[in-house]
Each structure stands twice: as structure tokens, then as C-alpha cells.
Amino acid sequence: MRKAISSLKRIDIRMYYLFIKYVCLLDFAAVRTLLSVFLVRFSAPPGYKPQIFYDGKPHVELLAFPPCDNPVVSIIIPAFNQWDYTISCLRSIRANTERIAYEVIVADDGSTDETGNILDHVANIKLVRNERNLQFLQSCNNAARHAAGRYILFLNNDTNVQKDWLLHLLAPAEVDETVGIVGPKLVYPDGRLQEAGGIVWRDGSAWNYGWFDDPEKPAYNFGREVDYVSGACLLVRRDLWEKAGGFDERFAPAYYEDTDLAFQARKLGYRVMYQPESVVVHFEGVSSGTDINAGIKCHQKINKHKFVGKWRRVLVKEHFERGRNLALAIDRGECARVELRRERPLI
């Protein structure tokens, strides 16, 4: 009994919410998928243990990045307060990034904590301080104007990157010019998987593939083309970013801007790739909370409707009904497209 209770505690409340929601909608395909996920999540915790730099302490020792006049990658970290998370993110970058010329740009969105004094603690970074609080999307767009790299990488301040993360993340785009966006394997601090690439269903809803599972399972450890990757860590070619016009500001202040950019990339002839060799810890919910009915998080529902309105034809033509053909939906390969052509209704 104790073991069963312990297992229940490991199941995120969102899974219960989704289960009840799909039962009420009589979406039995989605219910069937969630039931299989339930069974997986009751297994023992994964053996993988990521390197965690965040310890809840407001570190103020001097941190120096290597000077870089000609960066390949510009790492943009949007920050609004949360100095303890921001400094742990920076410490992880400094410790685990090698063999790539990079610059760090911190976009301070009107912080009132120690973030405002970041240049007293961190050397050789660019600081873009917004005159007013622009919130996530517009702050990212503004900071990107100061980027000098051939690639722009957006990284949440509530992340801890793992060894050689950037080297691996850059590799797919460096060897294939059709790759426009690359995302890493995202994990929780306890080692559980947060996302191994994202799936977008025909109704515009999105699933984080492999959520809360063991990140070392083979299913999550091969690179593949995906519908989208999370904006918590997103590498994009500078030329693609400029052609797309940055994040579409109709999705301000946040949510669905990363998914929209992935759709824009495909429209422009680029591919979106998941790279499992790059691993990033994401302390999900720190920046925007977890309640979809309050604060900035409520825009997740609002922006879903905007997204569907913008991409309705693509969703109908190229995406599966929610919860169906999961094994094919995780990979935008030709086999998935063939199956989709069979499934798509005549409209």
C-alpha cells in the first residue's frame, strides 16, 4: 500500500485532469493513450540523475564567461526577478559549454531583485535591460536584435544545462542546412523526462512526448523531425529567425510562440529537429506558474485559439486527430505522412 501511495504522488495532477477531460469529451482514443501512459508512470523512478546547479541560494560570487567577439551562437536568457534561478542557469552554462564560440545575453525585463545588479556578479555577458516590462515574447524579440551569432538560442532562466549540451544541439543544423530549429531532451530535476519533442494534434492541442517517463528509454534517444520543440530551450538559425520576423507578437505575452515558429519554419522550407544528446533540466512552472486559469499561464488557452485560426489548413492537412496514431505522430517522417493521407477526411 505504501508503495502504491508513493507511486500516486509521482503522477502529475495534469494527467488526472487530462484523463477526466477526455472521458467527458468521449475521446476514447486519447483516453486509451493516457491509460497506457498511466501504467508506464507507475514504474520505478528512472536511474538517470542530472547535474543540478540550483540550490536555492542567491550566489553572488564572480562568474566570468570567456570573451567572444565572433560568436557562433547567441544564448538569450529572458529574466524577470528569480535571481537564484538565473545565476544557477548561468553557472551551468559556464561549467558545461565547451568547443563552441558563444555569447550570453541576459534580457532583464524590469527585475527588482539582484538581477538588476547582474553585471556586478557576471563578467563578459551582454545585458539588455527593458525600460518597461515587456513580458516573455516581446522581451525575447527585443533581445534578439542585440544578437551577433549565426544561431540564436532562447533559454529559460529556470534551466540547468548538462555537459556538452550546446555542442550536441548545434550539430544537426551544422551538418544539414535544411534544419532550421533544434530542441534538446528536457528533463525534470528528479531525472524524469519532461519532453522528447512535441506533438501538435489537429485541434491545435500539444503533447510533450514521453512526459514523466524514463529519459533513458530507447524511444526517446534517437534524433527525429518533430512538430515543435519547447521554447524553454530552442536553437534557431538567424536567417530563419529574420525571415519569420521573430516570434509572432499576436501570441504575446507568451505561449504557442514556439509552436508557431516551428510551423513558420516548415512553411519556409526548414525542418524542426529533436536532439536527444543535448540534455537540459527545466524547473517547469517557475517562470509562469502551473495554473492555466491564472496569470500569464491563462494565455495558453487563449493563444491556442489564435494558433488554430492561423494554421487551420495545415492542421487539417498534416496532423492527426488528438491521441490517434501516437507512434506515427512522434515523427514527421514519410511513413507518418502516408498514414495521415489515409486518415484525413474529405473536406
For the chain, domain boundaries: 2-41, 63-342
Q: Is 273 exposed, middle or buried (0-12, 13-18, 19+ CB in 10 A)?
A: buried
pLDDT band at 35 (very low <50, low <70, confident <90, very high): low
pLDDT at 88: 96
Q: Cα(first)–Cα(last) distance of the chain, in Å? A: 52
CATH class as words, domain 63-342? alpha beta
Cα–Cα distance measured from residue 43 to residue 31, given in angstroms and rounded to the nearest whole number? 19
pLDDT band at 5 (very low <50, low <70, confident <90, very high): very low
Cα–Cα distance measured from residue 188 to residue 162, given in angstroms and rounded to the nearest whole number? 12
Q: Which residues pair with 128 in a beta bridge?
A: 107
pLDDT at 8: 42
Contact 286, 164 (CB under 8 A): no
Average pLDDT of 2-30? 51
pLDDT at 29: 55
Q: What is the grid cell recorded at 111?
A: 527585475
Q: Strands 179-187 and 271-282, how do they pair?
A: parallel
Asked whether residue 333 carries a pLDDT value surpassing 60, the answer given is yes
Collapsed DSSP state (helix, strand, coil) of residue 181 = strand
Mean pLDDT, all residues of the chain: 87
Nearest CA to 108 out of 71, 54, 146, 52 is that of 146
Q: What confidence tens digit (pLDDT) does each residue in 69-114 have?
A: 999 999 999 999 999 999 999 999 999 999 999 999 999 999 999 9
Q: What is the grid cell recorded at 243?
A: 525571415
Contact 177, 112 (CB under 8 A): no
Contact 256, 311 (CB under 8 A): no
pLDDT at 58: 74
pLDDT at 336: 54
pLDDT at 300: 87
pTM given for the model: 0.85
pLDDT band at 173 (very low <50, low <70, confident <90, very high): very high
pLDDT band at 342 (very low <50, low <70, confident <90, very high): low
pLDDT at 189: 96
Asked whether residue 130 carries a pLDDT value surpassing 90, the answer given is yes
Give the whole-number percent of the chain exceeding pLDDT 70: 79
Contact 167, 93 (CB under 8 A): no
Region of poorest pLDDT, from 110-124, 287-301, 315-329: 287-301
Which amino acid is residue 339, in one-letter code? E
pLDDT at 61: 79
pLDDT band at 298 (very low <50, low <70, confident <90, very high): confident
Q: What confidence tens digit (pLDDT) does each residue in 41-51 have?
A: 555 567 899 99
pLDDT at 157: 97
Average pLDDT of 254-275? 97
Average pLDDT of 153-169? 98
Which amino acid is residue 125, in one-letter code? I
Average pLDDT of 165-175? 98
Give the whole-number percent of the chain exceeding pLDDT 90: 74
pLDDT at 17: 54
Asked whether residue 250 carries a pLDDT value surpassing 50, the answer given is yes
The larger pLDDT score, comparing residue 142 to residue 1, is at 142
